[in-house]
């Protein structure tokens, strides 16, 4: 299965999970069931993020770092640093 097929498949799963969550909320389902569904969605999104990041590293970061072009190398480094910062932001 190609990257695009895998990413599309995972996004469809997430869409189905979200639809189920919306239905649970509309039907005033048990809170723990809603939370469990929400956590499952978060795990699915994290899995999709991992897939996309792996693809980005393989297809873009690797090429930029191997290019010998300091501007491309700096851009690749900055992309990863910004992603790291975004992931590690602690909000309330």
Q: What is the CATH number of the domain that holds 29?
A: 1.20.58.1000
Q: How far is residue 20's CA from residue 27's CA, in Å, rounded to a whole number? A: 10
Q: How confident is the model over 24-63, as pLDDT tens digits?
A: 999 999 999 999 999 999 999 999 999 999 999 999 999 9
Give this prediction's pTM: 0.85
Q: What would the two tokens of residue 46 be?
A: 């994290």
Q: How confident is the model over 44-53, as pLDDT tens digits?
A: 999 999 999 9
Residue 19: its H or E element: helix 3-26
Region of 28 please: left (phi>0), alpha (psi -120 to 50) or beta: left
Q: How far is residue 4's CA from residue 57's CA, in Å, rounded to a whole number? A: 15
Instruction: Give the closest residue to 10 by CA, choosing from 35, 39, 40, 45.
Output: 45
Asked if the structure places residue 40 within a domain, the reply is yes
Domain limits for position 35:
3-87
């Amino acid at each position: 299965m190609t990257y695009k097929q895998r990413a599309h498949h995972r996004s469809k799963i997430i869409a189905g999970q979200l639809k189920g969550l919306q239905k649970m909320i509309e039907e005033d389902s048990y809170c723990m069931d809603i939370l469990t569904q929400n956590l499952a969605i978060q795990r699915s999104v994290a899995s999709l993020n991992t897939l996309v990041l792996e693809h980005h590293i393989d297809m873009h970061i690797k090429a930029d770092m191997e290019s010998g072009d300091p501007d491309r190398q700096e851009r690749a480094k900055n992309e990863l640093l910004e992603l790291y910062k975004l992931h590690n932001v602690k909000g309330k």
